[in-house]
């Protein structure tokens, strides 16, 4: 059962990695609608992974509890296949973390770009902790 849960968790991580790589390409191509349309799917994949991870944690706890010798380490209890799958999970999680850092840098750059454009079109000033549009010297004039 532990092996099954580990394989499913790896599959979910692979899906998240693939989706994040797709998001990176979409942001580079300014395909924002595709990005926004995948946000819900990404949230669902994260929830699926978290559920699989919880199942893995429960199975590891069960295996440890079934082994009555408290001197045994986890590495001594698990099979080689299970240890390999856990190591693969660690590697893929590290890969996903690096991809997400790269994606976050791209998102921040795009956000700064759009915020600077908005500031040029609608200059703002701080009133306490709030930004408000300057009423005088505005570059935007509306005709009603």
pLDDT tens-digit profile of 7-47? Answer: 999 999 999 999 999 999 999 998 989 988 999 999 999 99
Q: Are 78 and 59 in contact, with CB atoms under 8 Å apart?
A: no
- Residue 112 in any domain: the answer is yes
- Residue 82 in any domain: the answer is yes
Place of tokens 């590495």: 75
Angle at 115 between CA 114 and CA 121, to 5 degrees: 90
Q: Please tell me the distance from the alpha carbon of residue 21 to that of residue 17, in angstroms, as a whole number.
A: 6
- Residue 138 in any domain: the answer is no
Provide the whole-model pTM.
0.78
- What total number of domains does the chain contain? 1
- Residue 141 in any domain: the answer is no
Q: Which domain holds residue 85?
A: 2-133
Bigger pLDDT: 94 or 136? 94
- Residue 31 in any domain: the answer is yes
- Residue 73 in any domain: the answer is yes
Candidates 51, 39, 55, 46; CA nearest to 16 is: 46
Q: Please tell me the distance from the alpha carbon of residue 11 to that of residue 3, in angstroms, as a whole number.
A: 12
Mean pLDDT of all residues in 44-73: 89
Decide if pLDDT at 95 tops 90: yes
């Amino acid at each position: 059962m532990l092996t099954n849960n580990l394989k499913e968790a790896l599959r979910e991580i692979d899906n998240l990695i693939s989706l994040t790589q797709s998001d990176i390409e979409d942001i580079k191509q300014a395909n924002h609608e595709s990005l926004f349309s995948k946000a819900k799917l990404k949230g669902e994949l994260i929830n699926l992974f978290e559920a699989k991870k919880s199942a893995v944690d429960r199975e590891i706890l069960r295996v440890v509890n079934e082994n009555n010798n408290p001197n045994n380490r986890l590495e001594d209890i698990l099979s080689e296949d299970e240890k390999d799958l856990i190591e693969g999970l660690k590697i893929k999680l590290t890969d996903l973390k690096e991809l997400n850092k790269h994606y976050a840098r791209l998102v921040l750059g795009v956000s700064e770009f759009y915020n600077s454009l908005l500031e040029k079109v609608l200059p703002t000033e701080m009133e306490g902790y709030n930004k408000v549009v300057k009423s005088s010297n505005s570059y935007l004039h509306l005709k009603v």
